[in-house]
Homo-oligomer: A and B are copies of this chain.
Amino acid sequence: MSLDARLLTALRGAGADAVSGVELSESLGVTRAAIWARIEELRRLGYEIEASPHRGYRLISAPDLLHADDLLARLGSTRVVGRDIRVFQETTSTNDVVEKFARDGVKEGVVVFAEAQTRGRGRLGRVWVSPARKGLWFSVLLRPPMRPQEATQITIAAGNALARAVKAQTRLPVEIKWPNDLLIRGRKAAGILTELHAELDQVKALILGIGVNVNQTARDFPAELRPLATSLRLEAGQLLDRAGLATAILRALDRDYRRVLDGEFDALVSEWEARCSTLGRRVAIQIGGRRVEGRAESLDSDGALLLRTQHGHLERIIGGDVTMAS
Identify the A interface with B (CB < 8 A).
99, 103, 123-124, 145, 147-149, 151-152, 155, 179, 193-202, 204, 287-288, 318-320
Complex-state Cα separation, A232 to B266, whole angstroms: 50
Among B149, B194, B202, B288, the residue within 8 A (CB) of A149 is: B149
- Nearest CB of B to A139, in Å: 14
Are B202 and A319 in contact, CB atoms less than 8 angstroms apart?
yes
Complex-state Cα separation, A123 to B198, whole angstroms: 11
- Nearest CB of B to A159, in Å: 12
Are B200 and A288 in contact, CB atoms less than 8 angstroms apart?
no
Known: A148-B198, A149-B318, A201-B319. 14 other contacts (CB 8 A): A99-B103, A123-B199, A124-B201, A147-B319, A149-B149, A152-B200, A179-B200, A195-B198, A195-B204, A196-B198, A199-B319, A200-B319, A201-B287, A202-B319
- Nearest CB of B to A301, in Å: 14
Q: Which residue of B lies closest to A194 (CB)?
A: B200
- Nearest CB of B to A61, in Å: 40
Complex-state Cα separation, A318 to B151, whole angstroms: 14
Complex-state Cα separation, A202 to B200, whole angstroms: 14
Are B197 and A318 in contact, CB atoms less than 8 angstroms apart?
no
Question: Nearest 10 A-B pairs (CB), nearest first?
Answer: A201-B319, A196-B198, A200-B319, A194-B200, A201-B318, A148-B148, A197-B197, A195-B199, A152-B200, A147-B318
Are A197 and B199 in contact, CB atoms less than 8 angstroms apart?
no
Please state the number of chain copies in the assembly: 2
- Nearest CB of B to A25, in Å: 47
- Nearest CB of B to A307, in Å: 14
Are B198 and A193 in contact, CB atoms less than 8 angstroms apart?
no
Among B99, B147, B196, the residue within 8 A (CB) of A200 is: B196
Q: List 10 A-B contacts (CB under 8 A).
A: A123-B199, A124-B201, A148-B198, A151-B200, A152-B200, A179-B200, A196-B198, A200-B319, A201-B318, A201-B319
- Nearest CB of B to A32, in Å: 49
Given contacts A99-B103, A103-B99, are A200 and B318 in contact (CB under 8 A)? Answer: yes
Are A155 and B202 in contact, CB atoms less than 8 angstroms apart?
no
Complex-state Cα separation, A194 to B204, whole angstroms: 12
Complex-state Cα separation, A179 to B199, whole angstroms: 12
